[in-house]
Structure 1
Amino acid sequence: MTASSSVERVRQWIDAAERVVALTGAGISTDSGIPDFRGPQGVWTRNPAAEKLSTIQNYLADAEVRKAAWRSRLDNPAWTAQPNRGHRALVELERRGKLHALVTQNIDELHQRAGNSPERVIEVHGTIRRTMCWRCGERRPMEETLARLRAGEEDPACLACGGILKSDTISFGQQLVPEVIDRAMRAAAEADLLLAIGSTLQVYPVAGAVPLAKQAGAKVVIVNAEPTAMDELADELLTGAIGELLPAVCVG
């Protein structure tokens, strides 16, 4: 089957669908200048030590790890990143009344910034644009804490209780929010078409949305530049540049 016939087939499926659920991973944001983690040029592929900064036990126990993590947050490419064609294609899918839910493993909020309704976006790994206190749970805009870093603080503490601050994201070793995962899985079970976009589909429980949707009768389309762990479950594989493929299938 040619690439053009695969694209046309997926377009037809989307046209006929009533409840499209998109599951997005880091691959959709690479065109916006945000590197992925596990790809050939991924952050952790190139620098395995960087993973330590994202492990909750190390972060809580070691002030030097926290200081290094805060320094890296200051320079995070998410602050200057802009939504790309892939993000905008999913906005168009929502505008057409097709998008039932958008489950994302990303923490950059580029879906909302592109124009997707926040109530449709399910952030299973949280957001980098807020801080949270490990002790009292208070959440505040990340920019407030970044301003404190620029003013000279190295390991800023919670202003409410003095506890350890971190980004409001799910670190390695940190429990996922059960209500958020339940919502994501319910959405997958309700889909008549699941688009898995830019994810290696290796991280559970979120990757389990793919077989769950398949078992519930949905067609599964995987859109990715590289092979994934669940290619054999796909009704159609679209392999290539996400910023080109998504507009081709989503824009009416």
Structure 2
Amino acid sequence: MADDRHGIDDIDGETLDAVAEAIRTAETGVALTGAGVSTASGIPSFRGDDGIWERHDPADFHRRRLDADPAGFWADRLSLREAIYGDVDPEPNAAHAALARLESSGHLDAVLTQNIDGLHDDAGTDRVIELHGTHRRVVCDDCGHRRDAEAVFEQVAADGDPPPRCDCGGVYRPDVVLFGEPMPDVAMNEAQRLARDSDVFLAVGSSLSVQPASLLPKIAAEGDSTLVVVNYEETPRDASAAHVHRADVTQVLPAIVERL
């Protein structure tokens, strides 16, 4: 199969101008980001060739596993965290920075993200809706108390005796959506409202294959929003997009910002 990936020099400048104009004239601008925005910061993707799920069994991180074997769940979760981050301290890249600039300049109302790494916050984006939660916190499964995750992971690694427990006696869990769990209602309801209200919707670095987040661009397009897809691979939403860029998000987004 031919590789149709492009560099920024291969993209028609008039097309980028058209995207910039759509963003400039939009009353409501929204972006949805996926793993492709984080890979440039050194974070591996979960799906695809050599993705995390090629090396780890997703069933180990199912809700049922946490309930039945919390100690085993946490031991595997520690291994997963090391596989994702290792010794890397990821920092925001040019795509994160471009989205933050779009927000600060009044052209973007919110970033909806499937990523759990917190890099949009680090880049300075104020309104980030984390559809899948965040790896930076843990939450007690009983009382709902939340705390910083780093100290908990350090405890698990040092003690070798998971699972970590809250003062109430409940088991802490990563503050992310586990396999077998629904998406959080508050986050999804707000994301759907923003998609419906958007005049321009940027779907960036996502395969748009995981529901229900993948439905957000569809909702936007059906509401006559200008849908822009930036992703190396084809997505199920390309046909309904006004503009599709099969190129590096860290090049396309800054190029659009320059035109604004």
Q: What TM-score do the two structures reach when normalised by structure 1? A: 0.92
Is 2:36 the partner of 1:27? yes
Instruction: Give 3-state SS (helix, strand or coil) of 2:239's partner.
Output: helix
1:71 maps to amino acid: S
Specify the alignment match of 1:77 in structure 2.
85
Distance 2:216 2:98 in 1: 21
Superposition pairs for residues 199-218 of structure 1, below 5 Å?
A: 199-218=206-225
State the distance in 2 between where 1:57 and 1:129 align.
Answer: 22
Find 2:192's aligned residue among 185, 195, 205: 185
C-alpha separation between the residues in 2 aligned to 1:43 and 1:225?
18
Q: Residues 5-84 of structure 1 correspond to what in structure 2 (within 5 A)?
A: 5-44=14-53, 46-47=54-55, 49-62=56-69, 63-74=71-82, 76-77=84-85, 80-84=89-93
**What is aligned with 1:95?**
104
2:138 to 131, 134, 139: 131
1:197 paired to 2:211: no
| Cα distance in structure 1, aligned partners of 2:20 and 2:112 | 20
Which of structure 1's runs of 4+ aligned residues deviate more than 3 A? none
Contact 1:14–1:249 (Cα < 8 Å) also in 2: no
Q: What does residue 256 of structure 2 align with?
A: 249
Q: Distance in 2 between matches of 1:217 and 1:170?
A: 30
Root mean square deviation of aligned Cα:
1.7
Corresponding residue for residue 173 of structure 1: 180
**SS class of match (1:195):** strand
Identity of aligned pairs, percent? Answer: 36
Q: Give the drift of 1:228.
A: 1.0
Count of equivalent residues: 247
User: Shift of residue 74 of structure 1?
Assistant: 4.7
Offset, 1:75 = 5.5
Summarize the Cα distance change of 1:150–1:157 in structure 2 as closer, same or farther, 3 Å threshold: closer
C-alpha contact (below 8 Å) 2:139/2:145 kept by paired residues: yes
Report if the CA contact (8 A) 1:104-1:121 is conserved. yes
Deviation at 1:14, TM superposition (A): 1.6
Q: Structure 2: which 5+ runs fail to align?
A: 1-9
**Amino acid of the structure 2 residue aligned with 1:128:** H
Tell me whether 62-71 or 221-230 shows the greater mean CA deviation.
Answer: 62-71
Residues 223 and 240, structure 1, Cα contact 8 Å, conserved in 2: yes
Question: How do 1:117-128 residues align onto structure 2 when only pairs under 5 Å count?
Answer: 117=126, 120-128=127-135
